[in-house]
């Protein structure tokens, strides 16, 4: 049965995933009586894979891309981190470096839930790779990925109506995935992912289905900041529930929390990344308000937007609060070094 399926769909399989089936799958999780799982676990996995998310993506080796499967690593000891950061910093530097994903052990100690979230709250600090309390895949109970890996759309994700064609399997999020030589990295101005943003943040209209749906939680504006806001609503939305104003009552200054999904604009922002003629900065990246189909090494302050990832990583970084630079530094110029990429007249 499996073999037949394999034969029949082999073209489709090859389009996204390459290599022999046995690189990633095991029929019984047993060879000469020993487990076939990468982490030697004798517990078999759904869809007969040789690991769960952690087993394939967080091997803790010195490779940032696993040489056998090609799986990008989110926890590794290579000197080069991938675009999401590296969960290893939670072990080496502490809980406040990022998302303490339950699968990786090392539970969050200081927080009790996602800051900026609404109550009732059933996620607590139990954020996971995927599923009801997770980020990737269908964010509800049950099977979160079925076929997404094989159907994976690489590069432009402008439809984003399914997990497989959403940006990095973040259901409903649009964007462009770096396909170049540094495929999983934000390396420099010419080699990075292109994030999708908007020129106005999500407004909480009182419609709970903005985020809740039968298909699982998702951001209705399909931006990366909207995605973060599904769990950190007050930090992105205009108007929030329970009398919390979110970032304020409208999408213009004065704000009450730092805005995201607003266009940089004119004035001091026109000089984004001073002295470089607006070169795109991978330390302080901006989001595009249209979905790009390739990489652009420039930023366009008149149309590009601030996003959560302008200041934060996604998984974990080496800095306090998962920031992209050392905002806690006692040296003011270091602390503000990221802010100054946009606020060019506030030194
Ligand atoms: C599925 C829900 C969920 C989503 C989506 C989510 N977060 Fe979180 N976030 C949490 C939870 C839970 C915590 C608190 C527990 C922890 O830090 O591990 C948290 C903590 C944080 C922290 C504080 C870290 C610390 O330890 O002090 C930052 C910063 C953060 N999130 C930023 C983001 C950004 C940026 C995004 C979008 C890329 C995002 N979050 C998306 C659930 C989420
Ligand atoms: C590089 C790793 C990798 C290789 C090689 C691979 N798979 Fe998979 N496959 C996965 C992962 C991961 C999943 C589970 C997650 C998902 O479905 O997105 C999966 C799921 C599946 C599923 C269940 C979901 C679906 O698409 O219906 C089938 C069937 C499958 N693989 C068959 C095969 C066959 C047959 C081969 C060889 C031609 C193969 N796979 C090669 C990684 C791989
Ligand atoms: C059998 C190994 C295996 C398992 C299990 C597996 N993955 Fe993957 N995953 C891969 C490989 C290989 C790729 C790279 C595919 C490619 O190059 O397009 C990948 C790619 C991804 C990507 C990037 C997709 C993109 O945008 O290109 C995400 C996100 C991801 N996996 C998340 C997960 C999560 C979450 C789980 C657990 C539910 C999981 N994976 C389970 C092997 C695996
Ligand atoms: C900005 C996105 C967003 C909006 C808007 C939103 N929610 Fe949620 N809500 C979530 C997310 C994500 C979760 C799951 C994670 C968690 O429990 O923290 C959740 C969880 C819940 C839960 C816990 C049970 C469950 O389904 O997981 C309840 C109850 C809830 N929301 C009620 C509401 C109500 C009522 C509204 C409208 C007044 C609303 N929410 C609007 C994002 C949202
Ligand atoms: C990616 C560019 C970018 C970065 C990085 C950035 N900002 Fe902003 N900031 C903006 C934009 C754009 C606005 C909104 C301006 C407007 O619409 O009036 C803003 C608004 C503000 C406001 C509110 C101003 C008002 O009128 O309500 C403050 C305060 C602020 N930023 C401080 C900071 C600090 C501190 C940092 C570093 C931790 C920082 N910003 C980093 C782009 C950025
Ligand atoms: C302009 C830079 C900037 C942007 C944009 C930004 N943040 Fe932050 N964030 C910070 C800084 C700096 C801190 C450290 C604490 C502080 O000063 O508020 C922080 C702290 C946090 C925390 C931890 C709060 C706590 O109680 O420990 C969370 C969660 C968070 N941000 C989520 C987000 C999300 C989600 C977005 C997008 C909707 C976002 N941030 C956008 C700069 C930013």
| 75 inside domain | no
| 67 inside domain | no
Token pair in block for residue 325: 């630079």
210 by Cβ neighbours in 10 Å (0-12 / 13-18 / 19+) ranks as: buried
Q: Is 169 helix (H, G, I), strand (E, B) or coil?
A: helix
Q: Is 86 in contact with 58 (CB distance < 8 Å)?
A: no
Q: What angle do CA 139, 211, 302 make, to 5 degrees?
A: 110
Quick check: CB of 65 below 6 Å from ligand 2?
A: no
133 CB-near residues (< 8 Å, 6+ apart): 122, 123, 126, 127
Neighbours of 83 (CB within 10 A): 23
Question: What pLDDT sits at residue 143?
Answer: 83
Say if residue 99's pLDDT is above 90. Answer: yes
- Longest distance between any two alpha carbons in the chain, whole Å: 69
Which alpha helices (DSSP H) does 276-315 contain, by range? 308-311
Distance 109 CA to ligand 5 centre (A): 30
pLDDT band at 2 (very low <50, low <70, confident <90, very high): very low
| 22 inside domain | no
Question: What pLDDT sits at residue 69?
Answer: 97
Counting ligands in written order, which one lies closest to the CA of residue 219?
Answer: 4
pLDDT digits (tens, 9 = 90+) for 165-216: 999 999 999 999 999 999 999 999 999 999 999 999 999 988 899 899 999 9
The predicted model scores a pTM of: 0.96
| 224 inside domain | yes
Nearest atom, ligand 3, residue 53 CA: 37
Question: What pLDDT sits at residue 4?
Answer: 36
List pocket residues of ligand 6, CB cut-off 6 Å.
115-116, 225, 228-229, 232, 235-236, 258, 260, 306, 308, 310-312, 321, 323, 327
Say if residue 3's pLDDT is above 50. Answer: no
pLDDT digits (tens, 9 = 90+) for 112-121: 999 999 877 8
243 CB-near residues (< 8 Å, 6+ apart): none
| 193 inside domain | yes
The neighbouring-strand residues paired with 25 are 49
CA distances from 29 to 36, 67, 124, 337 (A): 5, 21, 34, 50
Rounded to whole angstroms, how far apart are CA atoms 191 and 186?
A: 6
Domain count, the chain: 1
Domain that holds residue 270: 83-347
pLDDT digits (tens, 9 = 90+) for 286-325: 999 999 999 999 999 999 999 999 999 999 999 999 999 9
CA distances from 105 to 99, 181, 234 (A): 11, 32, 28
Say if residue 262's pLDDT is above 50. Answer: yes
Say if residue 98's pLDDT is above 50. Answer: yes
Question: What pLDDT sits at residue 12?
Answer: 39
Say if residue 140's pLDDT is above 50. Answer: yes
| 25 inside domain | no
Q: What is the mean pLDDT of the chain?
A: 92
The stretch 236-259 carries a mean pLDDT of 90
| 254 inside domain | yes
pLDDT band at 347 (very low <50, low <70, confident <90, very high): low
| 145 inside domain | yes
Query: Which of 1, 17, 48 is the best mutation target for the ligand 2 pocket, counting ligand atoms within 8 Å of the beta carbon and taking the most?
Result: 17
Assign residue 222 a region (left: φ > 0; alpha: ψ between -120 and 50; beta: otherwise). Answer: left
């Amino acid at each position: 049965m499996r073999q037949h399926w394999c034969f029949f769909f082999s073209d489709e399989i090859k389009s996204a995933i390459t290599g022999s089936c046995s690189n990633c799958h095991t029929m019984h999780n047993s060879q000469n009586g020993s487990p076939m799982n990468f982490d030697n676990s004798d517990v078999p996995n759904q869809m007969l894979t040789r690991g769960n998310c952690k087993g394939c993506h967080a091997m803790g080796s010195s490779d940032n891309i696993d040489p056998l499967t090609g799986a990008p690593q989110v926890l590794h000891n290579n000197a080069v981190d991938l675009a999401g950061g590296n969960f290893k910093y939670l072990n080496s530097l502490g809980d406040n470096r990022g998302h303490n994903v339950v699968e990786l052990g090392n539970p969050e100690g200081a927080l009790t839930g996602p800051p900026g979230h609404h109550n009732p709250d059933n996620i607590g600090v139990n954020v996971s790779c995927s599923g009801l309390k997770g980020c990737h895949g269908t964010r509800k109970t049950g099977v979160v990925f079925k076929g997404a890996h094989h159907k994976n759309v690489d590069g432009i994700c402008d439809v984003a109506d399914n997990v497989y064609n959403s940006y990095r399997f973040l259901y409903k999020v649009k964007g462009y995935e770096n396909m170049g030589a540094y495929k999983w990295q934000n390396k420099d101005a010419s080699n990075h992912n292109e994030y999708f943003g908007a020129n106005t943040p999500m407004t909480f209209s009182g419609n709970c289905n903005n985020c809740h749906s039968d298909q699982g939680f998702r951001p209705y504006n399909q931006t990366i900041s909207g995605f973060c806001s599904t769990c950190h609503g007050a930090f992105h939305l205009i108007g929030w529930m329970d009398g919390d104003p979110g970032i304020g009552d409208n999408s213009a200054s004065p704000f009450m929390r730092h805005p995201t999904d607003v266009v940089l604009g004119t004035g001091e922002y026109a000089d984004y990344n001073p002295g470089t003629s607006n070169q795109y900065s991978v330390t302080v990246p901006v989001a595009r308000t249209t979905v790009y189909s390739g990489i652009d090494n420039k930023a366009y302050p008149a149309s590009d937007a601030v996003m959560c990832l302008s200041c934060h990583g996604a998984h974990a970084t080496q800095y306090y609060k998962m920031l992209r630079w050392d905002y806690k530094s006692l040296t003011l110029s270091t602390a503000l070094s990221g802010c100054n990429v946009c606020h060019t007249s506030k030194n």
